[in-house]
Amino acid sequence: MEQRNLGKSGLAVSLVGLGCNNFAGRIDFAAAQRVVHKALDLGITLFDNADTYGERGGAEEHLGRILGPKRRDIVLATKFGRPMDAAGKLQGASRSYIIDACEASLRRLQTDYIDLYWQHIEDPRTPIEETLRALDDLVRQGKVRYIACSTLAAWQAVEAQWTSRVQGLEHFIACQERYSLLEREYEPNMGRMVEAYGLGLIPFSPLANGLLTGKYRRNRTLPQGARLTVTQRMAERYLTERNWEVVERLAEFCEARGRTMLELAMSWLAARPAISSIIAGATSPEQLEQNVRAVEWALSREDMDEIDRLTAN
């Protein structure tokens, strides 16, 4: 498994990371255990979790129980910020909440430090300096080693980097954004910011919730139990006329080269600027191995130009 530095930091992560969002939700503990053990066998070192995954804490609990002594061999990432209760009181990026959220994640993960701690979403009620000072304290205490941001607007990430620099605080080393062949909104603004500040990019939803796996066909019955089959909100977002047209063009591109759509989706991301690791969830060891093997296609410059043409609006 190829290892890449996360942005300009000294933290090395595997090119393919394991997203733990299926744990304690779509798959039970035994299935999660099989996936984690397979990930370790394949050389995956980045395990990306969040406090809200698995019905508010379940995914962290499962991963903590499964890893045991292997915890020291991996880069353990988790997130804070999204609501952890129905009333909406346990959320945000205030000092008081971050400190409590970190302690709760450490307990669930059965560890004394988090390698990479993500601010999951923006918190418009909390000044970024307060958030960064709290995270800086956690780093100084040894409970967190690196910090990063997820789904912030470009201007918010710039403000955070400027605040860290001026105030002498820990700074974000990476960002996590929705990015795939079908969703390239990241590129014009966030992409330029990431390049300017030397951040590492970790895209999530690289397969557009399954539409880029090749298992969906227009005007055919959707795969039983698949995410876009059972989740109406996601189906409305992804199963659009424009996406079907792009997928069909990309399918022809793959067929002409004897490759799969999965290989194209993963290898294209691996070739994009600033990519440090690609987060892909998995519900079985077989699916995980397919994701790992899919990054082995070395796309040429001509291939990349043709893909740009095929995916252009």
Distance CA 187, CA 202 (A): 13
Distance CA 53, CA 25 (A): 8
Number of Cβ within 10 Å of residue 108's Cβ equals: 21
299 burial (CB, 10 Å; 0-12 / 13-18 / 19+) is: middle
Say whether 97 is catalytic: no
The rounded Cα 243 to chain-centroid distance in angstroms is 22
Of 53, 117, 179, 216, which residue is the catalytic one? 53
Distance CA 196, CA 7 (A): 11
User: What residues does 77 pair with on adjacent strands?
Assistant: 48, 116
Alpha-carbon torsion (191, 195, 196, 198), positive or negative: positive
25's CB contacts (< 8 A; 6+ apart) are 53, 54, 55, 58, 59
For the stretch 256-280, what's the b/e string if a residue is b when 16 or more beta carbons lie within 10 angstroms of its beta carbon?
Answer: eeeebbbbbbbbbbbbbebbbbbbb
Distance CA 171, CA 136 (A): 8
Instruction: Give catalytic residues, as residue numbers.
Output: 53
